[in-house]
A and B are shown apart, each in its own frame.
Chain A
Amino acid sequence: MNAPAFNENLHLLNGNHAVAWGVRLAKPDVAPLYPITPQTPILEKLIDFQSKNEFDAELLTPESEHSAMAAAIAASATGARVFTATSSQGLLLMHELLHYASGARTPMVLFNVNRTPGAPWGFWPDQIDSLSQRDTGWIQFYSENPQESLDTVIQAFRISEAANLPVMINHDAFYVSHSIEPVNLPSAEVVDGFLPRIPREFQLGDDSGRSLGAPLDQAGWNLTRQDMDVAMQGVERLTAAAGGDWAKLTGRPAAPLELYRCEDAEVVFVTMGSMCGNAREAVDRLRENGIAAGLLKVRLFRPLPAEALREALAGVPCAIVLDRNYSPGTGGVLHQELKAVLFGIETPPRLHGMLAGVGGVNVPVETIEKLAAEYRNAAPSAQPIWVE
């Protein structure tokens, strides 16, 4: 875990304010934003910074999230560094333009606070809002804690601008977004050095008379997706490089995947976001009681680090996926992705899919411990299991 050491640079911040600090340090030129619970503290903090002349991005507050994303795409197309943030219904309203942003190859960073979509109405941590956007061509990260959210915002601008693909970072409502805890703020000099301005290969408004997104024939359209595929394939390497450089500057590593106590593990939990914290605690307690448990944390979800996942899980006797989301008709999204990734490898784990925490219900550490005891020697089911 990229937890900070106790020192004088630590500040007590909630997860959303940590994001706002990351944005302030990354110095975007334009930030179109529309408020929505539980994202709003990000917007409020940026406005607070701006009122004190500490943040000079052009803040746009249009009439909807759809318009915010349209403004973000247009701004990025002119070469501006762009940030936006939303949650749940807001992200879903952006859906059409999420495809447009990746197709137009406009780099930007979007921070999404994972929240249940209606109906019924709710405000609870659940990742189906962003996971249901997995096919829109956005790079997706899932963050475990406020420190990681701040660090990932800064790294994401570098990754996005290098790949010419938009990045969506996600953290869970309340357990991360509103959790106040010590966060280490990097200095402006460190971030400036880490995040240089890279001139874009193409940008509108430079008097060269270009257009963006004009109609293409079938073959031309097909080529845009082949180009995107090449760019996506480079993202895992870019993420590892950005995380490696960040670790050198701050001491906090940030890899696409994290393996926690997986060496010799007989059972490995696989999960994303805030659930990783509880799973770490469960792993330690299980090991104290003689069960060799481990955690495989998926930080980069799109592109899915397929080879690395196969390597991490090959030969592991049992893997238990903890999905804080539910895709009706199939089950947990991460479970589904892992089944696909592990298909055909020689020594796959027995893979169990647990719907744990759907709708934001509490998943205490003890519940995760019990899953290991109950399922580590059980035959896997193709169906997901609802965890009480």
Chain B
Amino acid sequence: MLEIVILGRGGQGAQTAGNQLAQALFAKGYFVQTFSTYGGARRGTPVTSSLRVATRPIRQRCNITQASALLCFDDSLLDETFLRQGKDDALVVVNSARPSEALGGLGNRRIIPVDGKAVARRNNMGKVVNSALLGAFAACLGKPDLDTMCQIIEATAPVKKQENVAACREAFGLLTQASEGVG
């Protein structure tokens, strides 16, 4: 089973990204389960979305504490508490303009930065980074394929469908060479 945790700030679209990733993996024939922390969440506070992916029905109903992959929407949130939700060798993709060495790691976790803000800006998406980050994350995970991810984004993005898809494609392309799949 592949377990994923996405961390962002309320309003950044981490929860939406988790749902879109789940839909894309479901479309590829995986059983998925995704849930978010909730309640005290409001714009600007940390929000996580958790995702399980498996080839059989998923039974666990508890928090993910040993994720294979982590996606972080904001490098100011990249601390030990978050990184400890991943296994020692977890893949970590983080939205950051800084190079990998500047981000600081923990254990053998592979931290891969992607400048989501620059990708978003180039694609007329302003500060909305979720489609770019999904493209980057899918490239690093090795699933789902780019076309499936883009189909789901196109079907679910409320506005700027083509811009969202273009941001996803560009980030996927940027990260494809730099990564290897997990899970």
**Which residues from chain A sit less than 8 Å from chain B, CB to CB?**
1, 3-4, 6, 10, 12, 37-38, 122-124, 144-145, 172, 174-176, 178-182, 274-275, 277-278, 280-281, 362-365
Rounded to whole angstroms, the CA-CA distance of A132 and B59 in the bound complex is 27
For B158, the chain A residues whose CB sits under 8 A away are none
8 A Cβ contacts from B27-43 to A: 29, 31-40
Known: A4-B57, A122-B39, A123-B38. A182 touches B65 (CB 8 A): no
A-B contact pairs, 14 of them (CB 8 A): A3-B59, A4-B57, A123-B38, A145-B61, A174-B37, A175-B62, A180-B22, A275-B61, A277-B59, A278-B60, A278-B61, A280-B59, A281-B60, A365-B60
B31 touches A176 (CB 8 A): no
Given A180-B35, A181-B33; A12-B26 close (CB under 8 Å): yes
User: Cα distance A3–B37 when bound, in Å?
Assistant: 24
Contacts of B96 in A (CB 8 A): none
Q: Across chains A and B, which 6 residue pairs bring their CB atoms closest together, nearest first?
A: A123-B39, A3-B57, A274-B61, A175-B61, A277-B59, A179-B35
Would you call the interface of chain A mostly helix, strand, loop, or mixed? loop
**Selected contact of B62 from candidates A4, A10, A122, A365, CB within 8 Å:** A365
B63 lies within 8 A of chain A by Cβ: yes
Nearest CB in chain A to that of B41: its residue: A123
Point out the residues of chain B lying under 8 angstroms from A274, CB to CB: 61
The one of B29, B34, B39, B58 in contact with A37, judged by C-beta atoms closer than 8 angstroms, is B39
A residues near B60, Cβ cutoff 8 Å = 277-278, 281, 365
Partner of B61, one of A3, A38, A122, A179: A179
Given known pairs A12-B32, A364-B65, the reply for A178 and B57 (CB within 8 Å) is no
A6 CA / B30 CA spacing, docked (Å): 9
Contact A180 B33 (CB under 8 A): yes
Q: In the complex the two chains form, what is the Cα distance from A280 to B61 in whole Å?
A: 11
Contacts A12-B23, A37-B39, A180-B33; A363 near B57 (Cβ below 8 A): no
**What residues of chain B have their CB less than 8 Å away from a CB belonging to chain A?**
19, 22-23, 26, 29, 31-40, 57-63, 65
* Cβ-defined contact, A1 with B61, below 8 A: no
20 additional contacts (CB under 8 A) given A124-B39, A277-B61: A1-B59, A3-B59, A6-B31, A12-B23, A38-B39, A145-B61, A172-B61, A174-B35, A174-B37, A176-B61, A179-B35, A179-B61, A180-B19, A180-B33, A181-B32, A182-B26, A278-B61, A278-B62, A281-B60, A365-B60
Which of B32, B35, B37, B59 is in CB contact (< 8 Å) with A182?
B32
Contact B62 A362 (CB under 8 A): yes
Cα(A137)–Cα(B170), bound, Å: 60
A196 to B142 CA separation, bound complex (whole angstroms): 49
Which among B32, B38, B40, B57 is the interface contact of A1 at CB below 8 angstroms? B57
CB pair B62–A179 under 8 Å, yes or no, is no
Q: How far is the CA of A12 from the CA of B33 in the complex (A)?
A: 9
**CB closest residue in chain B, given A15:** B35
For residue B26, which residue of chain A has the nearest CB?
A12
Q: Is the CB of A178 within 8 A of B61?
A: no
A303 and B26 alpha carbons, distance in the complex (Å)? 38
Residue of B nearest to A11 (CB): B26
- Cα separation A122 to B40 with both chains bound (whole Å): 9
| Residue on B nearest A279 in the bound complex, by CB | B59
**What are the residues of chain A within 8 A of B32 when measuring CB–CB?**
12, 180-182
Residues from chain B with Cβ under 8 Å of A182 in the complex? 26, 31-32, 57
A144 to B61, CA, bound (A): 9
A6 to B26, CA, bound (A): 10
B61 surroundings in chain A (CB, below 8 A): 144-145, 172, 175-176, 179, 274-275, 277-278
Residues on B with C-beta less than 8 A from A281 are 59-60
